[in-house]
Structure 1
Amino acid sequence: MAKVTLDRLRKVYPNGFVGVDDASFEVADGELLVLVGPSGCGKSTLLRMIAGLETISGGELRIGERVVNDVPPKDRDIAMVFQSYALYPHMTVAENLGFGLKLRGAGRDEIARRVREAAAMLELEALLERKPAALSGGQRQRVALGRALVRQPQVFLLDEPLSNLDAKLRAGMRVEIAKLHRRLGATMIYVTHDQIEAMTLGQRIVVLRDGRIQQIDTPMALYDRPANLFVATFVGSPKMNLLRGEVVEREGGLRLRIRDGIELPLRLEGALAEAVRGYLGRPLVVGLRPEDLHLHGEAGGRGLPAQVELVESVGNEAFVNLDCGGCDLVLRTAPRGLPRAGDAVQLGYDAARMHYFDPDSERRLG
């Protein structure tokens, strides 16, 4: 296996559109790194640049210690798994698994050994004589993974490999890919638009938007300390609640005035308190995760006043959709003792878990 290093990588198309701008990061040897972002953010383009399927307009790409900017895909020692399974319909599973090795001139015994090893790892032994038409979606995806596995490449590249599967199969295959990574200790770069997939699979995550990297960090660091508003609302389901208002000072301290009669006390200390104080009389955005809000009591009690719009019970938890002075909020709670649509409630919140953002730059304070 090998590390992958991107140094100020750029992709500019002939019409001047910048698909990837100044991407710099390193994927450690044996790491599973996830590229995540909305459609059109440049994540698949970046993966295809690493694979050699897209030309590099600027910067340097290294696999191991070798610069591979102009190295053909077949000589980069990588294996790629696509969103489409791309299996040969006239070949059996065993023939599909071994076809890449056959093209590279591997001997028959070597092909048979590697196919057996990959089939055992992915529980495909009973399917080796079947053709793709006789396989389920999950089985076809495992064959596509196995075809990459038998190559024993330096780097695995996976481009949204689970997006064609239903929800149950997707969850199962996520577990299989994570187990496979632990077993192989392989260097893997995984592309997805699904932030749940990114959070559950990635040892580190690269969040992209409009071709630019927004933040690189571990899943929980992204969740707990998002660098900007985009990351804050993209990572997490339901997304982070955002309260917009003006910072004012009352006898009890700083508050966010959402509208007349609705103010959110800001319990701050240290450098963050000074940073927020700099916004007195100016707009500020405050974020709270759905689990950091709670139903505080009846209308007229202490807390943040809101009205229940919709209650979604999903079995082990419930999501309460609320309107708070024109701000849409979602609260995550246990599915018992729930309010009803139209109820006026008071919201409590975990002040230590608040996030503060500049409304213009969208960057996190502190």
Structure 2
Amino acid sequence: MATVSLDRVSKVYPNGHVGVAEASFDIADGELLVLVGPSGCGKTTLLRMIAGLESISSGTLSIGGRVVNEVSPKDRDIAMVFQNYALYPHMTVAENLAFGLRLRGKPKAEIDERIRQAAKQLELEHRLDALPAALSGGQRQRVALGRALVREPKVFLLDEPLSNLDAKLRLSMRVEIARLHRQLGATMIYVTHDQVEAMTLGQRIVVLNGGEIQQIDTPMRLYEKPANLFVAGFLGSPAMNLLRGPLRHGDGWHLETPQGEVQLGTLEMQAPDLLGWIDRDVVLGIRPEDLRPTSEANATLSAALEVTEPVGNEIFLNLRRGEQTLVSRVPPGALPDAGSVMHFKLASDRLHMFDPASGARIA
């Protein structure tokens, strides 16, 4: 396996469109790193530049300490798994797995052994003689993974490999990919637009938007301390609640909103960062689990219950506070009827503040 290093790697198209803007980060040997962001954010372009399928406009890309900007894809010692499987329909599973090795002139005995090991790891031993048309979606994806696996490359590149599967299969394949990564100790770069996949698979996550890196960190650090409003709103399901208004300080901190004042408490940990924002507009971020039902006497804010979404071990409360919509995540239990006014208290030690102009985190 190998490290991958990007130093100000950019992609600028002839029409001037910037696909990726000066991406710089290192991927450790054996790390599973996820590139995540909305459609058009540059994540697949970045992956294709690493693969050699897209030229690099500027910057330096190194794999295993070797600069590969001008190295052809076949000489980069990488293997790529695509969204659409890309299996040869007239070949059996075994023939699909062997195809790349035969092109490279590997001995038959070595090819057979690698196929046997990959089929065992992916539980495909009983399907080696089947054609792709006879396989389920999950089995086809495992064959696509196996074709990369038998190559024994330095780096695995996975481009939204689960997006064509149903929800149940996506879950099982996420587990499969995580298990394979642990078993192989492989360097993997995984592209997805699905933030749940990113959070559950990545050891670290690169969040992209508009071709620019927004933040790089571990999944929980991204969730607990988003660097800006984009990351705060993109990661988390349901999304973070955002309220905007002037920040006041008198008897404790509070936020003035068109729907009324929101009491924030003493904010002891955040107060030093907030002193320069008194009487200025800020955006307050509240995760759904940090908006907690309470009695009216202890309430920080009140909102009308519009819709409840029971999802088994938790319930999402869709709320309305004037023109503002909010979501609260609560344990299962008895709830008032739709239209009822509910009272909530904020987890004051878990609030997020952002600059409404730049989107940058304040505290």
Same fold, judged at TM 0.5 (above): yes
Match of 1:292 in 2: 290
Greater than 3 Å deviation, 4+ residue runs: none
The letter of the residue matching 1:45 is T
Partner of 2:134: 134
CA deviations over 1:89-120 (Å, ceiling 9, x no partner):
00000000000000000111111110001000
Aligned equivalent of 2:312: 315
Q: Normalized against structure 1, the TM-score is what?
A: 0.97
Code of the residue aligned with 2:275 in structure 1: it is R
RMSD value, Cα: 1.2
CA–CA distance in 2 between the matches of 1:337 and 1:278? Answer: 43
Instruction: Give 1:202 deviation, angstroms.
Output: 0.3
Q: Deviations over 1:295-343 (max 9, x none)?
A: 1124x76331211121111122110011224321100011211122111
- Partner amino acid, structure 2, of 1:102: R
User: Could you tell me whether the CA contact under 8 Å between 1:20 and 1:212 is conserved in 2?
Assistant: yes
Partners in 2 of 1:161 and 1:114 — Cα distance?
22
Q: Is the CA contact 2:259–2:321 (under 8 Å) kept in the aligned structure 1?
A: no
Contact 2:264 / 2:346 at 8 angstroms: preserved in 1?
Answer: no
1:346 aligns with 2:304: no
In the TM superposition, what is the alpha-carbon distance from 1:261 to its structure 2 partner?
3.8
What are the residue-to-residue correspondences of 1:267-282 with 2, within 5 Å? Answer: 267-269=266-268, 272-282=270-280
Task: State the distance in 2 between where 1:184 and 1:237 align.
Answer: 31
The 3 A distance-change label for structure 1 pair 323 and 42 is same
Tell me if 1:329 matches 2:334.
Answer: no
Q: CA deviation at 1:266?
A: 4.1
Deviates more, 1:276-285 or 1:341-350: 276-285
Tell me the distance in 1 between the aligned counterparts of 2:313 and 2:259.
37
Q: 1:266, 1:351 within 8 Å by CA — same for their partners in 2?
A: yes
Q: Identify the residue that residue 58 of structure 1 maps to in structure 2.
A: 58
Alignment check: 8 A CA contact 1:262 1:325 kept: no
Structure-2 separation of matches of 1:351 and 1:273: 12
1:48 corresponding residue in structure 2: 48
For the residue of structure 2 that corresponds to 1:236, the secondary structure is coil
Higher mean displacement: 320-329 or 235-244? 320-329
Q: Which residue of 1 aligns with 2:203?
A: 203
Q: Do the aligned partners of residues 260 and 193 (structure 1) sit closer, same or farther apart at CA in structure 2, a change above 3 Å counting?
A: closer
Aligned residue in 1 for 2:258: 259
Q: TM-score, normalised by structure 2?
A: 0.98
CA-to-aligned-CA distance 1:124-173 (integer Å, 9 cap, x gap): 00000000000000000000000000000000000000000000000000
Counterpart Cα distance in 2 of 1:277 and 1:260 = 24
Whole-angstrom distance in 2 between the partners of 1:249 and 1:189 = 46
User: Matched residue pairs, number?
Assistant: 363
5+ long unaligned stretches in structure 2: none
SS of equivalent to 1:256? strand
Percent identical across equivalent pairs? 65
